[in-house]
Structure 1
């Protein structure tokens, strides 16, 4: 079990979190290195970005269910926010590259801001917010690279 107050990033979380960046890195690189299929790689990158943005949104659903000390209003806000990233990600799948990337980047930034707000009010692990910042930052860089290559 991951202890909520553990100051150390659990190895399994590190492996899964950073491992989840591999498709971002591979697809962004492929979109630049294989210009003949660049649009295909960029579309795959944006699809993966949409899936991951939906996933990070769902974290707030789980936190709303499990965090103690939230008021009902705060808990309801977490539940409501948890679906917003998926609602941003879904239309990105149908937009041209510049708009898709922009929408996904905005979603990752907005979600990090929500994570920051939640971290100030609750007892999230001290490693959570720095990890989210690193993972989101690299995802954003890859999405922008894919947009420029498309």
Structure 2
């Protein structure tokens, strides 16, 4: 699709900007444990929203990627809704279990991104950016283990 190893400026700003709520809520949970009952649910909810968002990327690829036109893309559509279901389920669990499920979901989705990259050509910046964003999100969600009761 694109050969530039650098993500477009708007993509970088939006991607890294999307980490601000993760960092702010994880930092608040860590620095203000007396109010972790406020910060942790917000962190988990944001994690669920982001997990849903990354799942939707596979739906978009299935619909629009030229290499997938005329090819059965049922597995991509099916996978694309799994992250939303995982995020939803994570919000119904106790915080530590919810954080585990969200971390597992983000890691599983990155694995699916790697599988997708073997099927179709993706922008060369996509996987490195997704990896960096996923690592930071997972680390922020891991803060729940130190702050949630």
Query: Would you call these one fold, judging by a TM-score over 0.5?
Result: yes
SS in 1 for 2:2: coil
Alignment of 1:61 with 2:59, yes or no, is yes
Q: What is the distance in 2 between the residues matched to 1:77 and 1:5?
A: 27
Count, aligned residues: 147
CA offsets per residue over residues 113-140 of structure 1, 9 Å max, x none? 0000101221100000000000000000
1:1-150 → structure 2 map (5 Å cutoff) = 4-70=2-68, 72-73=71-72, 75-150=73-148
Gaps of 5+ in 1: none
Distance (whole Å) between structure 1 residues aligned to residue 113 and residue 10 of structure 2: 21
* Structure 2 residues not aligned, in runs of 5+: none
Q: Distance in 1 between matches of 2:37 and 2:145?
A: 9
Does the CA-based 8 Å contact 1:5-1:123 persist in structure 2? Answer: no
- Find the aligned partners of 2:64 and 2:22 in 1 and give their Cα distance: 30
Structure 1's consecutive aligned runs of 4 or more residues displaced over 3 angstroms after TM superposition are: 3-6
Provide TM-score, normalisation by structure 2: 0.94
Conserved? CA contact 1:31–1:41, under 8 Å: yes
SS at structure 2 position matched to 1:69: helix
Q: Alignment partner of 1:72: what SS?
A: coil
Supply the RMSD in Å over aligned alpha carbons: 1.2
Aligned partners of 1:42 and 1:147 also within 8 Å: no
Kept in 1, the 8 Å contact 2:96–2:144? The answer is: no
Are the equivalent residues in 2 in contact too, given 1:94–1:100 (CA < 8 A)?
yes
Shift of 1:35: 1.5
TM-score by length of 1: 0.93
